[in-house]
Structure 1
Amino acid sequence: MNPITEDDIANYLANTPDFFERHAQLLAEVQLTSPHGQRAVSLQERQAEMLREKIKALEHRIMDMVRHGTENVVTADRLQRWTLSLLTWRDPRGLPWEIIKGLHQQFMVPQTAIKLWDLDAAYAGEGYNQGVSEDVKALATSLTTPYIGLNAGFEATAWLNEPQQAQSLALIPLRTAIDAPAFGLLVLASPDPQRYNAEMGTDFLERIAQLASAALSRLRP
């Protein structure tokens, strides 16, 4: 005859729910090892400890949800203020500078830069329409979503006031449609290597790109 195993006992108890009704005194006699030391505790006390741990874990999850919700509201408010500034800006010539100024102020981006090309001839002499190589234009067009990650020596960092301080970057292509070639590139940079990392989502940056591109369409021929 095969010896009774722990699995046999576990299966028997699972399939015999009235066992502890017939032997209620066993519940008070069962002793378990507490996870908070080597002392023995009753089954009821161990169950209470497990319940307290579950409650504590739920409290932490709720706190995280509240924190993320608050952060999302703050971000949405900042995005709305930045969008309003673009809608009410009257001087198309100064709009690119207003875009990066707003990103710097509203979202606390340490460094920002922008370059545009294929603009109306009226803006040919503007700084944001000069000094863009064909390689940068090709890179911007090749980006189907913003690049976020470490600065790997991208040429576009030379547009920043302090390129040597740019440890992580977000490179945001500007285009009139999803399948259209890029007509500009936004650069967001930080001295913090983790500010822009490859694990971040790009949804928010894509929204920035869409809003900026729509506003800058006034400078296009």
Structure 2
Amino acid sequence: MNPINNAITEDDIASFLVNTPDFFERHAALLANVQLSSGHGNRAISLQERQALLLRDKIKALEAKMVEMIRNGQENVTIAAKLQSCTRHLLLTAHAYDLPATIVAEIKSVFDVPQAAIKVWGVNDDQLDQDFYAGVSADARAFASSLSTPYCGLNVDFEAAAWLPEPALAQSVALIPLRAATGLDAFGMLVLASPDVARFHSEMATDFLAQIGDLSGAALTRLLSVRV
């Protein structure tokens, strides 16, 4: 019999320890003599010290997650308060034709957006001379209806960017379709813009922007020639 072929391997030792859980109960002194790498340099430490280090690392990771959860919760509370403020101002807007300007002003002020603009179509005949109606092509209307969620990204010569006071400064944009109800064609579009190319990007969450669109769309149904 070749002794080399019968040499005990690390797997054999690991299997033995797994299948013999009372080994260290019978040989408790071994645990005190086990030396492991600290994970920080070449210093050797005891098994107990290594377990303590691993536990501290886990605690730090949990603390970081907790801090992140608290920060997100605080941000959500802030956003909810801002949405409530916008809702209040929309409810206090007496004349329907003042709503587009109110929405733009609130978004710029409350959410610190450098530029914003809004267009609405399908309005009552007495609103056809308003700035928020004029200058919207059929392509722009079709594009708005094609958006199931807000678009966020670089401004690639979108027609909606031309609605802004300073289109040349719109490096990134958020295009938000306005609907009277889910599943209907859009009757308007809200555009937010920033000179910062990273302010609105394709990887950002759009839930909050969708809420702004829902709120604005519901308020602006007062302008429509056919109410839903």
Which TM-score band (shorter chain)? over 0.9
Correspondence for 2:162: 158
Correspondence for 1:58: 62
Correspondence for 1:88: 92
Shift of residue 45, structure 1, vs aligned partner: 0.7
Identity %: 56
In the superposition, the TM-score normalised over structure 2's length comes to 0.93
Correspondence for 1:130: 134
Letter in 1 for 2:119: K
SS class of match (1:149): strand
Correspondence for 1:24: 28
Correspondence for 1:3: 7
SS class of match (1:53): helix
Correspondence for 2:119: 115
Shift of residue 11, structure 1, vs aligned partner: 1.9
**Counterpart Cα distance in 2 of 1:3 and 1:121:** 94
Correspondence for 1:187: 191
Q: Deviations for 1:25-45, whole angstroms, at most 9, x for unmatched residues?
A: 111111111111111111111
Letter in 1 for 2:152: I
**Counterpart Cα distance in 1 of 2:197 and 2:11:** 51
Q: Unpaired runs of 5+ in structure 1?
A: none
Shift of residue 179, structure 1, vs aligned partner: 2.2
Correspondence for 1:215: 219
Q: How many residues align?
A: 221
Pick from 194, 205, 209 the counterpart of residue 209 of structure 2: 205
**Which sits farther off after the overlay, 7-16 or 96-105?**
7-16
1:135-154 equivalent positions in 2, closer than 5 A: 135-154=139-158
Q: Unpaired runs of 5+ in structure 2?
A: none
**Which sits farther off after the overlay, 77-86 or 170-179?**
170-179
**Which sits farther off after the overlay, 24-33 or 7-16?**
7-16
Moved over 3 A (4+): none
Shift of residue 181, structure 1, vs aligned partner: 1.6
Letter in 2 for 1:70: Q
**Counterpart Cα distance in 2 of 1:5 and 1:191:** 64
Letter in 1 for 2:196: D
Shift of residue 5, structure 1, vs aligned partner: 2.2
